[in-house]
């Protein structure tokens, strides 16, 4: 009887030890997790793919990034998420990124990750002599896009980023500057962000200065650079869009993406944005 009791106690202690170590290990892994802020739309697609597919393995990773949805990087909620220190790295529009690094010395802009992803969707048959074009508030480059495309008589209408496609869909404006992934579901004519001789950087990568030169950031950027090259292939891009935008995306949509000069780029291969 004595040996049975001792045996049961030993098994119980071993079980508790395993549970304790599992919990401790889990806690350690959580402490080593970095969070990456991703916007909705085209700019967040490739980073999400890298985090979920290219960097995901069955083995326990010493350091890893987890995606965190920002939706609109120009909102107060996104500013709070960055300022609170919760996020270590983020994909942000140019204006929001510049404002962040000016206010918070902990962050730096690594470089562009998305070009020309905001495009014009114009209602078929619209009078374009003095068109009303919905734009996202706080995004100065969109106002400039409208002026350059339609002249000084054009009328950009600023509104919340999330409201732009709805205002266009309801006929409140004659055109809109929208992310190309939103444009795929809207009726109308596509027009590129700019003319054939110029490009517009729409999103940049922002990271904590403390991460610069770290294996965490370098590993992510290496995988991201590989993914950028993969997306030069139309079939790979089609799979990406079908996985993260809609299963209804067609090769015709990929051709529109290419025609609008939308492209991913890696900060390592791009001029820095100050």
Residue 102 lies inside a defined structural domain of this protein: yes
Q: Are residues 127 and 169 in the same domain?
A: yes
Host domain of residue 173 = 118-191
With the C-alpha atoms ordered 209, 63, 226, 88, is the resulting torsion angle positive or negative? Answer: negative
Do 122 and 225 lie in one domain? The reply is no
Q: Does residue 173 sit in the same domain as residue 126?
A: yes
Please tell me whether residues 262 and 138 are part of one structural domain: no
Look-up of token digits 């909102």: 75
Q: Does residue 151 lie in a domain region?
A: yes
Q: Are residues 65 and 160 in the same domain?
A: no
Closest CA to 43 of 64, 84, 74: 74
Which residue(s) pair with 191 in the sheet? 120
Backbone angles phi, psi at 155, to 5 degrees: -125, 90
Cβ atoms of 115 and 262 within 8 Å: the answer is yes
Same-domain status, 218 and 239:
yes
Helical axes 42-49 vs 234-244, angle rounded to 10°? 100
Same domain? For 108 and 219 the reply is: yes
Residues 206 and 105 occupy one common structural domain: yes
Q: Are residues 38 and 111 in the same domain?
A: yes
103 and 41 in one domain?
yes
Q: Do 250 and 129 fall within a single domain?
A: no
pLDDT at 81: 63
Give the chain's domain count.
2
Tell whether 13 is covered by a domain: no
Per-residue confidence (pLDDT) for residue 78, from 0 to 100: 58
In a domain, 181, yes or no: yes
3-state secondary structure of 106: coil
Which residue stretches of the chain have pLDDT < 50? 1-31, 58-62, 271-274
Q: Which helix (H) or strand (E) holds 26?
A: helix 2-31
Q: What is the CATH number of the domain that holds 170?
A: 3.40.190.10
* 216, part of any domain: yes
Final residue in a domain of this structure, among 141, 160, 191: 191
């Amino acid at each position: 009887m004595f040996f049975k009791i001792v045996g049961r106690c030993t098994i119980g202690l071993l079980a508790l030890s395993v549970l304790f170590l599992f919990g401790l290990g889990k806690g350690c892994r959580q402490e080593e997790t970095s969070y990456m802020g991703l916007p909705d739309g085209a700019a967040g697609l490739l980073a999400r793919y890298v985090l979920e597919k290219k960097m995901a393995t069955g083995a326990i990773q010493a350091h890893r990034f987890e995606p965190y949805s920002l939706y609109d990087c120009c909102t107060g909620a996104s500013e709070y998420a960055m300022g609170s220190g919760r996020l270590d790295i983020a994909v942000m529009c140019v204006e929001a990124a510049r404002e962040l690094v000016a206010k918070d010395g902990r962050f730096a802009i690594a470089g562009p990750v998305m070009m020309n992803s905001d495009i014009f969707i114009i209602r078929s048959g619209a009078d374009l002599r003095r068109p009303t074009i919905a734009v996202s508030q706080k995004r100065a480059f969109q106002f400039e896009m409208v002026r350059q495309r339609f002249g000084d008589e054009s009328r950009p209408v600023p509104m919340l980023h999330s409201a732009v496609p709805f205002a266009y869909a309801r006929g409140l404006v004659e055109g809109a500057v929208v992310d190309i992934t939103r444009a795929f579901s809207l009726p109308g004519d596509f027009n590129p962000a700019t003319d054939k001789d110029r490009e517009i950087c729409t999103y940049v990568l922002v990271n904590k200065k403390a991460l610069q030169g770290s294996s965490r950031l370098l590993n992510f950027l290496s995988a991201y650079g590989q993914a950028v090259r993969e997306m030069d292939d139309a079939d790979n891009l089609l799979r990406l869009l079908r996985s993260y935008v809609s299963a209804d995306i067609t090769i015709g949509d990929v051709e529109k993406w290419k025609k609008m000069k939308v492209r991913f780029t890696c900060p390592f291969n791009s001029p820095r944005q100050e």
